[in-house]
Each structure stands twice: as C-alpha cells, then as structure tokens.
A = this chain, B = another copy of it.
Amino acid sequence: MPNHTVLFDITDKAVQVPTGALLSDAAHLAGVELNQPCGGQGRCGRCAVQVTSGSVRARSTLRLSAEDVANGYVLGCQAVVEGDVTVHVPPQEKIERRLTTDRTAAEVQVPSGYDPLADQTVRRMAVTLKPPTMDDQIDDWSRLKWTLQQEIGRSNITISLALLRTVGKTLREGDWQVSAVLDHPRQECCPDCPARLIDLRPGLTSDDDPLWGIAVDIGTTTVSLWLVDLLSGRVRAQVAEYNQQISRGEDVISRIIYASKGDGGEQLRDLVVGTINDLVERACKRVRAKPADIVKATISGNTTMIHLLLGLPAASIRLSPFVPGVNEVPLLRADEVGLHINPEANVDCLPGVASYVGADITAGVLSSGMADSEQITLFLDVGTNGEMVLGSSDWLVTCACSAGPAFEGAGVVDGMRATRGAIEEVWVHSETYEPSWRVIGAGGPREVKPKGICGSGLISLMAELFITGVLDKRGNVNTTLDTPRVRQGAHGGEYVVAWGSETEHGRDIVLTHVDVDNLLRAKAAIYAGFTILADSVGVPLEMAERVLIGGSFGKYINVEKAVQLGLLPDMPWERFQFLGNTSVRGAYLALLSRESRAHLQDIASRMTYIELSADNRFFEAFTSACFLPHTDMSMFPSVAEALA
C-alpha cells in the first residue's frame, strides 16, 4: 500500500501513513492529541481539523456546518487519508480542573483499633541472621527463609526470580541484618499456602520508617489516590487528577468503542496507568516517600475502568448480554500492571458485581457501612450512569440505570462540566421569573462570567422553573408568561437564564424544551431504578431509613431541588447524607484490613444484580417518572405542598 505524508501545522514532524488511515490516527502518530470525547465515532464533532492542502475522504460530516465543510474542516476521526495532506489543528478545548484537592481534603479517620500486626496482610520485619561458616553452609535463600518463617509462624515463603537474584547481595550488604516485607495468608490457612516476600533491604528498619500503601479510585472522569502509612493507618496524602483517558471518550461506552479499534486498548491502558503513576509521584513528593517503598495497592473503579487498566477486552460489557471479562480480578503484581511502585507490590483490584455495577459500588457499600446495619438504606452514585443499592445487613439489591450524560452537561445546549464559569445553582423569582445564579469560580478577585450550566445547576434550574410554573408537569415551557425570559427558539419553547450581555461568550444561555426532555429522561431512569429495586424485594421505597449519596457529583446536589424534580424520593431531609468519594474510601478500608477486604468480597457476592434492560417493569416505571416530579403526585407530598 502506498504511504502518504501528513503534516500537522502545530508540530514540525511529518508522519507517513498508508492509504485508508484516519487523520486521528495520523495525529496520534505525530504526537498531536485531538479531543475525542465520543471515542472516535463522529458523534461529538470535537476533533474537527482543517485540511489546508491536499484532500481527504470524509466519511461523515454530520457535526459540521456547511460553512465549515466549505472551509475544509473535517472530523479527524472520520477523515480517510488518500494522499499527502497538510492539516491545521485549531486550539483544542482544554479540560479545566475542578478537583477535590488534597490540600483542602478532610482528615480521614483511621478505623478505630487499627492494628497493623493483626489487620494487615503485609508485614515488615527486621531480622539478624547467623552468617554462614564452614560448619553452616546453608544457602542464602534458605537461611533467610527459615528465619522469616519462624518469625511469622508459617512453613512456606515464595519469592519471585527477580527478587531472588538480589538476596545474596542484600544479605551481605546488610552484614546479615536485613528488613523484609512479606505478604502472608491468614494464619488459619494450611501450611502449604505460602507467604510471599515483597521486599528485602539491607540493614534493620525501625518502626518509625513508614511502610506505604495506596488506595486508588479510577473514575471515568477523575482518578483519586490516597497514600497511606500502613503502620499507623493514616492517610498521609490525597491527590486527584482527571483521568487522561478523557481525551479518548468522555463516557465508558465511548472508551470501550475506542479500545476496540487498533491499538486503542493499549493507548487507554497507557493513559490511565500514566495518570496513576503521576499521582503516585505527586503524593510521594509531598511526604518525601519513595514510590519503591509502596508495597501494596488496592484499586477501585467501575468495571470498564478496571478492564481498561488491565488491558482486558471490554467489548462484551456493552453488547448484550452485557457480560464483563472478569468481576473478581486475581491478585496481581505491580510490574504486571505497569504501576511504578515496588514491582513486587500486590495490586488488589476490588471485586465488582456486573458490567455496570463495579468495584466502585461494592467499595462504596463497604465504606457507607450500609451492609453492617439493620436499617434499610438506599445508596446512590450518580454520574453518567446512576448505580444504586438498596438493602441492609440482611440483603442487598443493586441495579444501574443508563441515565446518559445529561447531568454532566452533554446533550444540553448550554450544558457543561462543573468547571470555572459553570452556573451551579439557580433561583427563579416566582412572580417576575427573573433568575439569579451562582457561578463556579466567582467570588475571587477576578470577575467570572457564566459560560454554561453544569449538572447541579440544571437540577436547580429545572426544579425552580417547575415550582414557579414556567415548566409544566410534562416539561413544556409556558411561553404565554409575561416575561422576555420565555420565548420560542429553534428547539421549541425555551427559558433564557442569562442574556448575552452577561455571558463570557456573548450568547444567551438558555434551557430549551429539548434539554428539559433529555434531563427528564435522565432523572426518570434513576427514579425508575429506585422503584424497581424496592419493588424487587417488596419493600416500599419510603421504608428506606437513610439515603446515602456517593460520588463527587452528589456533593453538589441540592436535595430539595432534586426532590422537586423527582430525581430523589420525597423523604425528610435528615435521611439524606452525602458521603463524597465512597469508592476511594472503600479501597482505603480494604487496603488496611484483611477483615474489611473479606467483608467487601462478601458484599460483592451478596449483592443481587437486577438487569433493568431486560425488565418490563422498568419501562413502566420509567414512563411514569418522565414527569415533573412524577405521574403519581402522592409519592411527592412535599412537592405537592410547595406547588400549592
């Protein structure tokens, strides 16, 4: 096949690609990172580039205006190279950051009574060996092993070949005094179950030297990492960063599609491993720890994220019957996974339940404590998907609703992520219908003008518009109201939240009928999930004595508004509780204690998964919930009262 030269104007490196290659592949080859939030499906239009010389065959221009096309714009992911071309890359949309920074993170309580000797799977010990003599010619490894075996009361210890190669040198360097880190099975285990040597250093360490572990949550959007001193149990650093995979797809489905093409899986793997390794570096720097001293890692995340981290094929997750490759990942070593910590460190990917109820949810249930309580609890994690668990110490049922990314600002004309310039809260005057709002990043020395509306802002706005009568039960905009804020737009009735004179880009920020429809469907999917869960165990939803909300999104939801919208069930406010990142906290608990880890396993195996896409009741419940707040107003007495 002939090769063609592709030159991108923002780099001077021309690349050679064969006929039929995509411009997005050529860009990757040239080190130019095009945004591909939709995973390269031609749906989002964010990878548009301009061909300035030569031409390409455009498979789809769906997301481009006729003017764009006339000016030579194409979608990188849809443009097939058939000759030499020069390409102009417009500035790519930057991902702005609004992460929980560790600096401001709350102190994490060490579980009471934490005892590393009893609770930890890893143990460090300093031992002094008898040096060999002509009367005692035992080999180095046996000499070390037998001493360690006595120390930990087990009859077998394994070691990797790589570590075994260093044993003789370390013993002599330390003059037969060494510090060893072991990972060992439960004491009740049979003598043949070996302990494993993770690390060996010359000289005797003291208990003041920290022994490090990391708890990681891989979110589709954000990766969080806690650096933990395993001896005290204290979290010494909390860091978070956007998952670098975002540039290859914003939701799990886009990522799975991207992973299935060419070396997409390896790219995604490198990106998330890179994200974790960067976080390890950053956390270690903060407390002057060495990554090589991290001897244990627990990793939580949704099922897709775990698959992509491990380079496991993820395609079956999105295809009926929605079966993941693995829910319970065997214990791995850091060098297998590619983490830049001690290569022998155990990497424990926590167990998930199903394709769309992953380790992040089981870890969330663990850290929420709901599985230890007789109280019936509803646990909810809203993001692109809404995963929920209903239950108690006796039983647990779970499901996932594909809410779509509306709450993350996608599919909404002026929707955006919760970053600087996003309207995050709106109040609408009940007589004038004039809004007031709060913008993320405002309140500092520099003025921040609104650019769009994020998820919490959308919830707040819709609820206010409903309560004030701008929206009716079906989500229609009442354009007969006497205010310039309501009008007919291209997509039907719309409400103007901010005038162009007030916004950064100079355009009006609006909420359209179509936006409302999308948001209605998203909230209906979640509420229908609650209904089915409750229904499946024959427990009325209002029996739930607590509603626990996890995930970073949860933190910003205004409960009153969410209830008015019909997103959350109508219950006394004191039953609601926001837990923040329950996934990383669950990983932290599993990192610390053998018992918590076993408990997590037990939770995963006890959770009954209900597949909604196969459940006719779900469609009924969904339809009934596609109203503000619901067809059955008796389920929302507080809303009825507010309307009255």
Contact = CB atoms under 8 A, between A and B. Distances in A.
Interface of A: 132-142, 158-162, 164-165, 167-169, 185-186, 189-190, 192-193, 310-313, 316, 320-332, 336-337, 354-355, 609, 611, 613-614
Contact of A332 (B161, B329, B337): B161
Contact of A141 (B186, B190, B328): B328
A243 B266 CA distance: 40
B611 A323 contact: no
Contacts of A185: 192
A329 B161 CA distance: 9
Contacts of A138: 323, 327
Contacts of A310: 161, 164-165
Contact of A139 (B136, B190, B311, B323): B323
Given A186-B192, A189-B190, A193-B190, A325 B137 contact: no
Given A137-B322, A139-B323, A165 B312 contact: yes
Contacts of A609: 137
A158 B326 contact: no
Nearest to A347: B161
Nearest to A336: B161
Given A169-B313, A192-B185, A322-B137, A337 B614 contact: no
Given A167-B325, A323-B137, A355-B137, A330 B158 contact: yes
Chain multiplicity (copies)? 2
Nearest to A609: B137
B142 A326 contact: yes
Contacts of A322: 134, 137
Contacts of A132: 321, 323
Name the residue among A133, A190, A330, A331 with the largest chain B CB count within 10 angstroms: A330
A555 B328 CA distance: 56
Contact of A325 (B139, B316, B327, B330): B139
A612 to B, nearest CB: 11
A316 B140 contact: yes
Contacts of A134: 320-322, 611, 613-614
16 contacts: A134-B320, A137-B321, A137-B355, A137-B611, A139-B323, A140-B325, A140-B326, A141-B327, A142-B328, A161-B310, A161-B332, A165-B310, A167-B325, A168-B312, A189-B190, A189-B193
A259 B168 CA distance: 15
A398 B339 CA distance: 47
A135 B189 contact: no
Given A160-B336, A168-B316, 12 more contacts: A134-B320, A137-B611, A138-B323, A141-B326, A142-B326, A161-B330, A164-B325, A164-B330, A167-B325, A168-B312, A189-B193, A190-B190
A572 B133 CA distance: 40
Contacts of A135: 614
Given A158-B330, A168-B313, A313-B168, A323 B192 contact: no
Name the residue among A164, A311, A322 with the largest chain B CB count within 10 angstroms: A164
Contacts of A162: 336
Name the residue among A169, A323, A611 with the largest chain B CB count within 10 angstroms: A323
Nearest to A197: B330
Contacts of A139: 323-328, 354
Top-9 shortest CB links A-B: A190-B190, A141-B326, A134-B614, A139-B327, A132-B323, A139-B324, A134-B321, A168-B325, A161-B336
Nearest to A162: B336
B161 A337 contact: yes
Contacts of A160: 336
Name the residue among A139, A193, A312, A324 with the largest chain B CB count within 10 angstroms: A139
Contacts of A133: 321
Contacts of A189: 190, 192-193
Nearest to A140: B325
A355 B609 CA distance: 59
A541 to B, nearest CB: 25
A134 B613 CA distance: 9
